Structure 1
Amino acid sequence: MSIEKKVWLISGALTLGLLVLLFKLLVALNHFEGDPTQLPDQASVDDYLQDLENLPEYQVRTGIFIKSFVFTDASDVHVTGYVWQHYEDGVHDAIKPTGDAVGFVLPDASDAASGMIEEAYRMDQDGEELIGWYFEQTLRQNFDYTSYPFDHKTVWVRFWPASFDTAVALIPDFAAYPATGPDDIFGIDSRIVMGTWERENTYFDYRLSDLGTTLGISDTKFQTNLPELHYNFVIKRNFGNAFVVHMIPLIVVTMLLFGAVMTVTRRPELIERHDFSTSSVIGTCSVLFFVILLAHVQLREGFAGSPVIYMESFFFLMYFLLLAVSVNTYLFASEAVPSLRFIHYRDNLIPKAGFWPFVLLCTVAITAYNLSLKADPEDAVVIEMLN
């Protein structure tokens, strides 16, 4: 077997092995771990509230149903739906909203004036008054896009009680949903138009407030450690759309670049057959550079203000490959720097055979790095993948 065949066999084996490793890394990157703080039942709520230094004077059962949502930009999501609360007769008389008053506050609303919260129904049942409100609000959150297009978004609706001078804890109305376990999806319309997203999970949890101010209220023992009720719905991006829009052009450009590398030769018969010249390869790289640059600008405009995202790293890799191919072609064709034997060896064999292993090795490194940012090093999924 000739040396050329051995080198190409090694290149093929490395390429196949790196493809398998890359697939495992992508599966791990696309995996979502449930939040350990979620509250699946009333017992978990009671345990949480009992551990607080200051127990709330009132507990108001609160539920939510999401009718629609849409991302208006990278940090805003417009949500519509219903919120309801139960006020027991003789227990909640002092804090029950009357008239046009609302029993909760949505502190994440970016423009409350343009939103809407209006009473939808009010009825007496089993010794309590049930009040429901319809709401339309744009909520502002700091979403993490670093794993795009394998990212998951946890969109939360954060509640404050409307009574700031009274220790009120809003508790989930678990009885209003068929099931609220760790793997159950509830409180969101099953027929909702998700667009490029898929439902992954829903849950309630508490997070202690950290306002850094007393809001001017003298008795702040409870207000400064307010257990804020959050309703969270986790959505996963549909990879297919991002693959068609961004990944396919990158793959095609990479294959065209590999084709340009394969035309580099000193053999007269191949030069004539491929019409090889240094200027033609560098010209091809120049054209591909502008194609990649325009695609990169389009991607970056969709995530303005966000750090470098996972997919964006491949554009930087492509810039390096375009430059490397151009430099390799020039040094090979001009027979410059003869000490660089890996360029001149057997008609540029090493750069040709090492093209795909190098590309995939960089891809694996980029994916592994993003996975390390996303997951805890002790996470079971990562450990299983590394083993």
Structure 2
Amino acid sequence: MKHSKLNWLNFLYKTSLALGLLSLLLFVIGSILFRQTQKNRIQAAQEKSKREAVLATLEIERELREFSQPLSLLSQELSTGELSTTELQTRLEREITENPQIANLGVAYNLFSYDQDKMFYAPTYIRAKDAIKLIQLEDIYDYTSPEYGWFRDVFIQGAHWGEPYSWPKNDFIDEVLFGYYQPFYQPEEGSTAESLQGVIYAEYSYTHLEDIMDSLNLGKTGYGFLISQQGKFIAHPNPETVRINSNITDILQQQPDKNKLINTINKVFEEQIVETEFIDQITGKKSWVYLRPLDLNDWVVGIVFFEEEVLVDSKTKRQWLIQLSLLFMSSLFFLGVLLFWSKKFNLKKLWLLSIFSSALFIAEIGFIWQLLLENYNYLANRLVLLNKTELEKILSPHIKLSEQLHQKTPPKIPTGFFLQSVKFSEGHEIFITGYIWQKYLLGTYDELSRGFILPDAVNANDLEISEVYNYEKDGFEVIGWYVEATLHQDFEFSKYPFDRKDIEIQIWHEDLETQVILIPDLDSYELINPKIKPGINQDIILDGWTLEGSFFEYKFRKFNTNFGFKQGFSRNNAPSLYFTIAVRRNVFAPLISKLVALVCVVALLFAMLLILNRERAMEILGVAAGLIFILIIDQISVREAIAAQGLIYFDYFYFVIYL
């Protein structure tokens, strides 16, 4: 008998040792794999971005070489006398007709070079509204002025690509242009500054290069841009950045680590390939930037992606960490078996092992709770709108589809929110009060009705919208409404009391048939970082909840109806604007009120088992039945309070006690 017991203990000892080592080995391997997975995701995104940058560089250089070829040929023919001034206009018209990417093509003569009686002469063919028209550039602006340096720069640099610029106000061209400028000389006088007769120039719309940058495959929010040698944006997902001639140095001045970033830009202007990381002060997101200069003209292709987007989402990360923690706990448990369970087995060591095991389980539960309370990564699987660049990138395919279908470009109406209060009414309903405003571009959207719809409103009696202001500013009509509404929400309670809620306020424009796109009015917020909680009253009180952040986002939904409008109307895959408030339940109150009671019941039952003997078993069962009945009533009250439909996390604590 004693020998059999020793064999059993030896088997248990060896099994515990093997399982403990196996658990520890799996934990180490899993930890390495997890870290490597995160690292590989970032590295894969970086390598992909680099490949995209190289492809964009090659494609842009190919386009630019094709752009410049007609000018080089024209310069050669003019300088050798093959092309006479009388044939010049005909040749210019032919070249711009055969090259649709050219916005305007012309010749600007040096002072009095064309005719002793003409100080300026610059015949130019322009592409205006799909029609080619001949104008005189000198009638629009003085091309020799330092303000438009391309003409003077030819005397210094020779043939070159110029900086982006805009023509003064005119009836023909109102977009940013960049151009290639090629000198030509007096025939048979050589290529000297004294014999320079004028400049042949071709200017192009930035939209051609922007199409190349838009084609880059950089995920949901990653994007590419192109800057000139002086740092001006030539292509950018946000057209406004190009239109106002933004300089990358001015933008970097807004960042806290501006000196580091400016030094990085200076390096790439010295023809070095650079990559760096920075945290955007406005959005709070960690970004990776790759900059690659073009060999042709020292322009720079830039690639940006956000690390949170490529990392594993919060749910996957949490599941992975829980599995690792269980392996680590298992290795500690089997280590405890080896320490407390030896050949000299006794009751004291069994108690020590039991206490040690309980402590491990409590620590594991606490670790899982901590994971549930950590900040949530919203960027991995949602279209969060944090700046105009991301906004334009998300909307670009939708806008281009309308153009391909020869439909009218959907109007874009800036819309803002400011919530004064939020109250949880019932299980799946919330009551909100606050302000909503919209901005309508005067002279462009005058035919649109003014107003919005909250499609998740429960009923008309719980919805009050009243206009409180209406004024004009900076070319916009700004209308603001005060709103009180009860909204239905699709809440999930399965993780109660460690649940999070996304209060999603969906808004449509009231003119459904026009298919208006509502965009967040980002200019009305100082910071759009979700952690700063833009659009929320800073003194807001949420009973039993902690406000984690707020942000705008798009969702592309499908509908199985045309809402009664004409055939062909559809809102399928149209971007629906949401203002989302992320909240987390305060777990302290539910844990104190419910979990402490459960612990007390378990402690009482355990104490009764220790104190009472078998002869009084019926008394134990009677007391246990009474306690269980109390727990059943308590469990029902918890489920009714949150209107839970399926099982919730807290139910499992009751089930364990019932068993």
Q: Name the TM-score, length of structure 2 as normaliser.
A: 0.45
What is the aligned partner in structure 2 of residue 167 from structure 1?
515
Match of 1:8 among 351, 355, 358: 351
The SS at the match of 2:472 is strand
Q: Which string of whole-angstrom CA distances, capped at 9 and with x for unpartnered residues, describes residues 72-99 of structure 1?
A: 11011111110000111111111142xx
Q: Which string of whole-angstrom CA distances, capped at 9 and with x for unpartnered residues, describes residues 266-320 of structure 1?
A: 7xxxxxxxxx721221122012112111211211211335211111221122211
Q: Which string of whole-angstrom CA distances, capped at 9 and with x for unpartnered residues, describes residues 153-191 of structure 1?
A: 000110111111213100001111121125331111111
The SS at the match of 2:385 is coil
Match of 1:42 among 384, 388, 391: 388
**2:633 aligned with 1:294:** yes
The SS at the match of 1:203 is strand
Compare 33-42 and 79-88 and name the one that shifted more. Answer: 33-42
**2:573 aligned with 1:225:** yes
Question: In the aligned structure 2, how far is the partner of 1:114 from the partner of 1:13?
Answer: 56
Q: Which string of whole-angstrom CA distances, capped at 9 and with x for unpartnered residues, describes residues 109-155 of structure 1?
A: 01123310110111111121110000111100120011111111000
Q: Among all aligned residue pairs of Structure 1 and Structure 2, give the percentage whose two residues are the same amino acid.
A: 29
Q: Higher relative contact order by CA 8 Å / sep ≥ 6: 1 or 2?
A: 1
What is the aligned partner in structure 2 of residue 278 from structure 1?
617
The change in CA–CA distance for 1:96 and 1:143 in structure 2 (over 3 A counts) is same
What is the aligned partner in structure 2 of residue 358 from structure 1?
none
The change in CA–CA distance for 1:145 and 1:4 in structure 2 (over 3 A counts) is same
**2:365 aligned with 1:17:** no
Aligned-pair distance for 1:206?
0.6
Question: In the aligned structure 2, how far is the partner of 1:152 from the partner of 1:200?
Answer: 10
The change in CA–CA distance for 1:182 and 1:70 in structure 2 (over 3 A counts) is closer
Q: Contact conserved, 1:87 with 1:96, CA < 8 A, in 2?
A: no
Aligned-pair distance for 1:261?
2.1
Q: Contact conserved, 2:513 with 2:569, CA < 8 A, in 1?
A: no
Q: Contact conserved, 2:449 with 2:511, CA < 8 A, in 1?
A: no
Aligned-pair distance for 1:2?
6.1
Q: Contact conserved, 2:561 with 2:570, CA < 8 A, in 1?
A: no
Q: Contact conserved, 1:208 with 1:228, CA < 8 A, in 2?
A: yes
Match of 2:542 among 188, 194, 199: 194
Question: In the aligned structure 2, how far is the partner of 1:206 from the partner of 1:234?
Answer: 15
What is the aligned partner in structure 1 of residue 598 from structure 2?
250
Q: Contact conserved, 2:509 with 2:518, CA < 8 A, in 1?
A: yes
Q: Show the 5 A alignment for 1:121-270.
A: 121-220=469-568, 223-265=571-613
Compare 210-219 and 132-141 and name the one that shifted more. Answer: 210-219
The SS at the match of 2:469 is strand
Question: In the aligned structure 1, how far is the partner of 2:634 from the partner of 2:514?
Answer: 54
Number of residue-to-residue matches in the alignment: 306
What is the aligned partner in structure 1 of residue 446 from structure 2?
93
Aligned-pair distance for 1:264?
4.8
Question: In the aligned structure 1, how far is the partner of 2:639 from the partner of 2:572?
Answer: 39
Q: Contact conserved, 1:213 with 1:224, CA < 8 A, in 2?
A: no
What is the aligned partner in structure 1 of residue 331 from structure 2?
none
The SS at the match of 1:54 is helix
Please list every run of 5 or more consecutive structure 2 residues that lacks an aligned counterpart in the other structure.
Answer: 1-343, 404-408
Q: Which string of whole-angstrom CA distances, capped at 9 and with x for unpartnered residues, describes residues 40-59 of structure 1?
A: 01111100110223365210
Compare 149-158 and 304-313 and name the one that shifted more. Answer: 304-313
Aligned-pair distance for 1:217?
1.4
Q: What letter matches 2:648 in structure 1?
A: I
Question: In the aligned structure 2, how far is the partner of 1:112 from the partner of 1:32?
Answer: 36
Question: In the aligned structure 2, how far is the partner of 1:32 from the partner of 1:78?
Answer: 25
Question: In the aligned structure 1, how far is the partner of 2:360 from the partner of 2:592?
Answer: 25
Question: In the aligned structure 2, how far is the partner of 1:261 from the partner of 1:54?
Answer: 75
**Structure showing greater Rg:** 2
Question: In the aligned structure 2, how far is the partner of 1:13 from the partner of 1:44?
Answer: 52
The SS at the match of 1:72 is strand
What is the aligned partner in structure 1 of residue 397 from structure 2?
51
Question: In the aligned structure 1, how far is the partner of 2:567 from the partner of 2:466?
Answer: 31
Question: In the aligned structure 2, how far is the partner of 1:168 from the partner of 1:106?
Answer: 15
Question: In the aligned structure 2, how far is the partner of 1:220 from the partner of 1:242?
Answer: 52
Q: Contact conserved, 1:214 with 1:224, CA < 8 A, in 2?
A: no
**2:417 aligned with 1:64:** yes
Question: In the aligned structure 1, how far is the partner of 2:402 from the partner of 2:627?
Answer: 64
Question: In the aligned structure 1, how far is the partner of 2:635 from the partner of 2:570?
Answer: 49
Aligned-pair distance for 1:226?
2.1
Q: Contact conserved, 1:38 with 1:182, CA < 8 A, in 2?
A: no
Q: Contact conserved, 2:415 with 2:518, CA < 8 A, in 1?
A: yes
The change in CA–CA distance for 1:64 and 1:220 in structure 2 (over 3 A counts) is farther
The SS at the match of 2:620 is helix
**2:463 aligned with 1:115:** yes
Q: Contact conserved, 2:558 with 2:572, CA < 8 A, in 1?
A: yes
Question: In the aligned structure 2, how far is the partner of 1:72 from the partner of 1:306?
Answer: 17
Question: In the aligned structure 2, how far is the partner of 1:167 from the partner of 1:229?
Answer: 13
What is the aligned partner in structure 2 of residue 334 from structure 1?
none
The SS at the match of 2:600 is helix
Q: What letter matches 2:389 in structure 1?
A: A
Aligned-pair distance for 1:210?
1.6
What is the aligned partner in structure 2 of residue 381 from structure 1?
none
Q: Contact conserved, 1:208 with 1:225, CA < 8 A, in 2?
A: yes
The change in CA–CA distance for 1:182 and 1:71 in structure 2 (over 3 A counts) is closer
The SS at the match of 2:603 is helix
The SS at the match of 2:629 is helix
Q: Name the TM-score, length of structure 1 as normaliser.
A: 0.75
RMSD of aligned Cα (Å): 1.7
Q: Contact conserved, 1:296 with 1:315, CA < 8 A, in 2?
A: yes
Q: Which string of whole-angstrom CA distances, capped at 9 and with x for unpartnered residues, describes residues 12-47 of structure 1?
A: 111111122111111112234232221101111100
